[in-house]
């Protein structure tokens, strides 16, 4: 029994899949930066950014629906921006009396909240397309190429590799517990156990999972040392970017810059 | 009188589409000891996981007289003691006592009875001195015995073991075999250890590619070298 559902990568052969991972990573980061820097209430620019995202989604052959469903995962985080509705100074829209306090919803507050929500929603869509069209090893290579510290990239790689092992282990533990969660034939007994006891068992499981992860990391480290690991992460040299990749990169960066300037001007 | 295990035409495919069981039928009588052998990936573990409803395939499964359906799962899990291949999966509590007591406490037995069950189960596997030990620090052989005790404490009607001798040294293996020999209870054991199968199990079931390809007296099947070779097994 293995877990695959965690892996966001969807294999394919669309133009977006074929684009070099380095170009995709840089453009995704630039896109998110552009969205973040676009001023509040620059609606035409938001629409252009969204059109950009939808274009990429269609080109990637993932399906717009797929990306939108995934993007819904980011919605709860938008709640963090909710207080701006009440705190931004400006013309009052509605007064909400709550007990002795009165909350005032302001027009600039609402505008700011909708802007933040929109910006994070389209940014998340782009990140989802990146993760769904780029395999994780390619993504790691791309991170190395844009000079993310090598040790950090190595840690991401190991984490990714063993995350699945750990999840499998947790599932096997839960399966073993389920196998022993039985009901007695005696009618006077109620199965399930006390809540505190169950919490203690769950705590024990989490603890043993943690201990085993530490032990496993020791074994992995020894296996790495046995094969010559000396603390320095080495990697094969990166292949050169093709002319088409360069062209895509500069063209898109230029477009993003143009969008940002126009947003700042209006 | 019911059979302990009755499986009729069981089919199962994993979510990724891999067909793991293709029409398996198997009957095991009460107190019969049956070995389940076959190459890796033959479907032995998948079959075993159907016996307490962890997996649900198409077909009929009755265990200890009860059909394996959602309403019966609690009762079935109390009657079927399932010991997984890796004892670490089974031992998730801080101390040996907590682990062996899990089943009885879950069933809601009074404290005194839980204690008696734990002591009895540990005595059966010769591990009475380990009551307050930390499971984490035991050897593989010791963990294996404790894992068996964790299901014996539930007084199961059927014992199911997945690869009980895997990874044991000769002495631990020998003492585990003695333990299994002395347990008078229905037993279905999946194993690659053909010597143990020959010694302990009068009946042997060979699985390959999701089907039962042979089912009969161990001595007869072991003598048929062509059959064993055809299914990736070796005559001991």
* Structural element, H or E, at residue A177: helix A150-179
Nearest by CB to A183, from B75, B93, B102: name it: B75
> B77 vs A208: CB contact, 8 Å cut-off?
no
Residue A103, helix vs strand vs coil: strand
Q: How far apart are CA B122 and CA B101, in angstroms?
A: 11
Domain spans in chain A, listed from the N-terminal domain onward = 15-146+239-265, 149-178+207-235
Residue B186, helix vs strand vs coil: strand
Number of residues that make up chain A: 266
Q: Are B191 and B164 in contact (CB under 8 A)?
A: yes
Determine, yes or no, domain membership for B235.
Answer: no
Per-residue pLDDT of chain B (236 residues; tens, 9 = 90+): 466 899 999 999 988 888 999 999 999 999 999 999 999 989 999 999 999 999 999 999 999 889 999 999 989 999 999 999 888 888 888 889 999 999 999 998 999 999 999 999 999 999 999 988 888 788 988 999 999 999 999 999 999 999 999 888 999 899 999 999 999 899 999 999 999 999 999 999 999 999 999 999 999 999 999 999 999 998 88
Tell me how close the Cα of B165 comes to any Cα of chain A, in angstroms. Answer: 18
Residue among B188, B184, B191 at smallest CA distance from B203: B188
Q: How far apart are CA B159 and CA B191, in angstroms?
A: 14
What are the residues of chain B with a beta carbon less than 8 Å away from any beta carbon of chain A?
A: 16, 49, 52, 54, 74-80, 82, 84, 86, 88-94, 98, 102-103, 105-109, 135-136, 150-151, 154
Cβ contacts (< 8 Å) between A211 and chain B: which residues? 136
Determine, yes or no, domain membership for B93.
Answer: yes
Q: Residue B25 contacts by C-beta under 8 Å, 6 or more apart in sequence?
A: B7, B8, B9, B10, B212
Please spell the DSSP secondary structure of A179-191, one letter per residue.
HT----S-TT--T
Residue corresponding to tokens 């207080």: A83
Tell me how close the Cα of A176 comes to any Cα of chain B, in angstroms. Answer: 5
Q: Are A116 and A84 in contact (CB under 8 A)?
A: yes
Number of residues that make up chain B: 236
Determine, yes or no, domain membership for B70.
Answer: yes
> B154 vs A172: CB contact, 8 Å cut-off?
no
Total number of domains constituting chain B: 1
A 6-35 residues with CB < 8 A to B: none
| A2 pLDDT more than 60 | no
B9: phi then psi, degrees, rounded to nearest 5: 45, 60
Nearest by CB to A190, from B80, B103, B108: name it: B108
Q: Residue A74 contacts by C-beta under 8 Å, 6 or more apart in sequence?
A: A120, A121, A124
* Whether this model's pTM surpasses 0.80: no
Which pLDDT tens digit goes with each residue over A155-191? 898 888 888 888 888 999 999 999 999 888 888 888 8
Q: How far apart are CA B159 and CA B148, in angstroms?
A: 9
Nearest by CB to A175, from B54, B79, B108: name it: B54
B126: domain CATH number is: 3.40.50.300
Residue B81, helix vs strand vs coil: strand
Domain that holds residue B15: 5-230
Q: Which residues pair with B187 in a beta bridge?
A: B33, B159
pLDDT band at A84, cuts 50/70/90?
A: confident
The alpha carbon torsion through B141, B146, B148, B151 (nearest 10 deg) reads -160
Asked if A4 is an interface residue toward chain B (Cβ–Cβ < 8 A), one would say yes
Span of A74-78, A230-234, B206-210 with lowest mean pLDDT: A230-234
Query: What is the value of ipTM here, to two decimals?
Result: 0.81
Determine, yes or no, domain membership for B105.
Answer: yes
Structure tokens at B88: 């670490």
Cβ contacts (< 8 Å) between B54 and chain A: which residues? 175, 178-179
Tell me the angle at which helices A21-37 and A136-145 cross, rounded to the nearest 10 degrees: 70
Tell me how close the Cα of A172 comes to any Cα of chain B, in angstroms. Answer: 6
Q: How far apart are CA A204 and CA A215, in angstroms?
A: 16
Residue among B81, B33, B25, B46 at smallest CA distance from B189: B33
């Amino acid at each position: 029994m293995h877990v695959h559902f965690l892996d966001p990568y969807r294999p394919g052969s669309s133009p977006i899949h074929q684009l070099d991972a380095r170009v995709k990573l840089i453009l995704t980061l630039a896109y998110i930066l552009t969205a973040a820097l676009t001023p509040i209430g620059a609606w035409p620019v938001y629409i252009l950014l969204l059109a950009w995202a939808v274009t990429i989604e269609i080109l990637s052959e993932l399906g717009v629906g797929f990306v939108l469903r995934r993007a819904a995962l980011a919605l709860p985080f938008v709640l963090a921006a909710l207080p701006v509705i009440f705190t931004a100074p400006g013309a009052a829209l509605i007064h909400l009396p709550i007990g002795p306090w009165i909350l005032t919803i302001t027009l600039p507050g609402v505008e700011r909240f909708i802007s933040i929500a929109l910006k994070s929603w389209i940014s998340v869509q782009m990140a989802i397309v990146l993760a769904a069209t780029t395999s994780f090893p390619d993504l790691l290579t791309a991170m190395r190429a844009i000079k993310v510290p090598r040790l950090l990239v190595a840690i991401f790689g190991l984490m990714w590799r063993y995350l699945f092992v750990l999840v499998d282990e947790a599932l096997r533990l839960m399966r073993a517990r389920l196998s022993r969660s039985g009901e007695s034939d005696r009618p006077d007994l109620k199965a399930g156990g006390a809540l505190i006891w169950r919490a203690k068992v769950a705590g024990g499981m989490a603890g043993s999972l943690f201990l085993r992860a530490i032990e496993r990391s020791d074994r992995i480290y020894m296996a790495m040392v046995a094969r010559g690991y000396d603390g320095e992460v080495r990697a094969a040299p990166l292949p050169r970017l093709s002319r088409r990749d360069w062209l895509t990169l500069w063209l898109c960066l230029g477009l993003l810059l143009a969008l940002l300037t126009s947003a700042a001007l209006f | 009188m019911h059979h302990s295990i009755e499986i009729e035409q069981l089919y199962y495919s994993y979510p990724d589409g891999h067909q793991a069981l293709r029409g398996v039928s198997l009957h095991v009588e009460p107190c019969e000891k049956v070995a389940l052998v076959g190459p890796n990936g033959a479907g032995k573990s998948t079959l075993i996981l159907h016996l307490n409803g962890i997996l649900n395939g198409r077909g009929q499964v009755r265990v200890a007289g009860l059909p394996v359906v959602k309403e019966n799962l609690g009762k079935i899990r109390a009657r079927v003691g399932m010991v997984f291949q890796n004892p670490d999966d089974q031992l998730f509590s801080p101390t040996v006592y907590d682990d062996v007591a899990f089943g009885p406490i879950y069933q809601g037995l009074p404290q005194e009875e839980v204690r008696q069950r734990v002591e009895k189960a540990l005595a059966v596997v010769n591990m009475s001195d380990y009551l307050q030990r930390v499971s984490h620090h035991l050897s593989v052989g010791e963990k294996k015995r404790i894992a068996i005790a964790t299901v014996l404490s539930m007084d199961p009607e059927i014992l199911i073991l997945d690869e009980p001798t895997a990874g044991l040294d000769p002495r631990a293996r020998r003492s585990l075999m003695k333990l299994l020999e002395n347990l008078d209870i229905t037993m279905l054991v999946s194993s690659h250890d053909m010597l143990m199968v020959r010694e302990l199990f009068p009946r042997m079931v060979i699985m390959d590619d999701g089907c039962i390809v042979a089912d009969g007296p161990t001595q007869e099947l072991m003598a048929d070298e062509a059959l064993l070779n055809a299914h990736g097994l070796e005559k001991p």
